[in-house]
Amino acid sequence: MGSDRSDLPESLCLVGFMGSGKSTVGRLLAERLQWTFIDLDDRIETEAGKSVSEIFAEDGERAFREIETRIGREVVGREHTVLATGGGWGAVPGRVAELPATVATIWLQVSPELAVDRIRRQAPVRPLLSGTSDPLSEARKLLDKRRPQYEAAGLHVNTSGREVTEVVSEILKHIRSGHRTRPS
Ligand code: S3P
């Protein structure tokens, strides 16, 4: 029937900039696949006992990145799991490219303009953009720097102007058709 589950990868990993919809898309994808959903930032907050912005403010970005790296390593690639990472996780050089082929990596693309607009209207506070007087130019700079790392993902999906259900359908169609969305 074209949806042979044996074609599916073992797990999905969503990467991309803040405001690209990784958590929302990931939750719905997991529901559709009847897989487990893991949000990396939620895991970090649970373990730290405080919010991401509190970690940044009280312990610094470096401490946050250390926890993110450690917990990310624990959860990435878990079987039948959709992992929504934070925007900085997939921005580390080599991290996406070096994942095993059993992990299908998906870059949710968003323009800096739309990202800033979504972030302004949505929780949680993003410490990297909230502390600047010009979030748009900061987002542009950050995205330019991160793009080469996000590009290593096996599937690139544009989220601009699209409903969550549309983005999820595109990803499901792609992985069910046997495209293994792995880094090339
Ligand atoms: C960050 C993105 C955030 C969160 C933290 C740092 C980043 O996650 O991990 O504020 O470096 O891009 P989202 O991408 O879910 O907003």
Please, where are the H alpha helices in the chain? 22-33, 40-48, 52-59, 61-75, 112-121, 127-130, 135-150, 164-176
What's the gap in Å between 127 CA and the centre of ligand 1? 8
Q: Give the Cα separation of 154 and 180 in Å (integer).
A: 8
Mean pLDDT of the chain: 93
Separation of CA 2 and ligand 1 centre (Å) = 36
For a pocket test of ligand 1, which of 17, 58, 128 has the largest count of ligand atoms closer than 8 A to its C-beta? 128
pLDDT, one tens digit per residue, over 40-99 is 999 999 999 999 999 999 999 999 999 999 999 999 999 999 999 999 999 999 999 999
Quick check: 155 and 105 in contact, CB under 8 A? yes
Nearest CA to ligand 1 atom 10: 126
Tell me how far apart the alpha carbons of residues 112 and 43 are, in angstroms, rounded to a whole number. Answer: 26
Which residue lies with its CA nearest to atom 9 of ligand 1? 86
pLDDT the model gives residue 4:
47
Closest CA to 81 of 129, 138, 13, 145: 13
Confidence band, pLDDT 50/70/90 cuts, at residue 125: confident
Gap from CA of 7 to ligand 1 centroid (Å): 31
Ligand 1 binding pocket mutation candidate from 17, 18, 114 (most atoms within 8 A of CB): 18
What whole-number distance in Å separates Cα of residue 64 and Cα of residue 58? 10
Binding pocket residue ranges, ligand 1, CB within 6 Å: 18, 22, 41, 52, 86-88, 126-128
% of the chain residues with pLDDT over 70: 93
Cα 169 to ligand 1 centre (Å):
25
Query: How would residue 122 be classed by pLDDT, with cut points 50, 70 and 90?
Result: confident
Between the CA of 18 and the centroid of ligand 1 the distance, in Å, is 5
> What is d(CA 35, CA 80) in angstroms, rounded to the nearest whole number?
5
Q: Is the peptide bond before 124 cis (omega within 30 degrees of 0)?
A: yes
pLDDT digits (tens, 9 = 90+) for 70-84: 999 999 999 999 999
Q: What is the mean pLDDT of residues 2-30?
A: 88
Please state the pTM of the whole predicted model: 0.94
Give the pLDDT band of residue 16 (cuts 50, 70, 90). very high
Nearest residue CA, atom 16 of ligand 1? Answer: 18
Q: How far apart are CA 82 and CA 23, in angstroms?
A: 10
